[in-house]
Structure 1
């Protein structure tokens, strides 16, 4: 019997139901789920802002979700390099990546090592970016 390892990378800042849904759906598609929690430095590089919640706390939150079997700190932008460390069979991304240059590259790269890319619906009404804007607005008005 094949043991399918899944990988669900994300910043997981301001943890919300969209994050929970991705982890729940990911676990339903694999036997063992590793959540990749992006480092503060990588998140700042990718999004232009450091996460609100520090890495150690984000890691603890994600590690405590019952769908997650292990949590891994992602410190390099190259997902193939991360694959060499974690050795997963499937990677999960939000469907906002599907059909984009980043998503197409991800699919091409992982096809070379036999890793499936599965997209899940992006939670449009709730996102960390949206929550951050609301919090920034509250801070500005205080």
Structure 2
């Protein structure tokens, strides 16, 4: 945990799927940790991720949580089992909420800012690392072995 003397600690929350962990994920956690004294990372569980994205993750939630727990920038990990971030805030209070800048200016982003603003939480946007993403990695894996991709989906 990063300490700030006697001053009140600023707690940040960075939710994500964190599937197929890559340098873009690391950058988000690094930037988030630089903005707060204590960083909580939320790992979206498999069922919630499937409902939101229409597919199961490649790496199961408990394994993704273990990976994120091992990142030195992260102080605490919670597995998210429901989509309402305000409920997460009530269970694990934080001052800053970190999100990708693709949410900035969207109705979902505006709703998030409004709801969190009512309880004093600032939404902080970070740019994505453009040269890599889990979606790109998933596509590359499918191109390398289309049969494995079909088997993986059928097994889920």
Are positions 1:36 and 2:42 aligned together? yes
Residue ranges of structure 1 left out of the alignment (5+ in a row): none
Aligned alpha-carbon RMSD (Å) = 1.1
Q: What TM-score comes out, normalization by structure 2 length? A: 0.88
Is 1:113 equivalent to 2:106 in the alignment? no
Q: TM-score, normalised by structure 1?
A: 0.97
Kindly state the Cα deviation for residue 133 of structure 1 after the two structures are TM-superposed: 1.0
Distance 2:87 2:20 in 1: 27
Deviations, residues 61-105 of structure 1 (Å, cap 9, x unaligned): 000000000000011111101111110110000101101111111
Give the drift of 1:141. 6.9
Deviations 1:11-51 (A, max 9, x none): 00000000000000000000000000000011111111000
2:109 counterpart residue number: 103
Does residue 56 of the first structure (1) align with residue 75 of the second (2)?
A: no
* Residue equivalent to 1:88: 94
1:97-133 Cα distance to aligned partner (Å, 9 max, x none): 1011111111011001000000001122211111111
| Bigger Rg over Cα | 2
Question: Tell me, which stretches of 5 or more residues in structure 2 are unaligned?
Answer: 1-6, 149-156
SS at match of 2:145: helix
**Counterpart for residue 46 of structure 1:** 52
SS of residue in 1 equivalent to 2:103: coil
Q: Distance in 1 between matches of 2:74 and 2:18?
A: 13
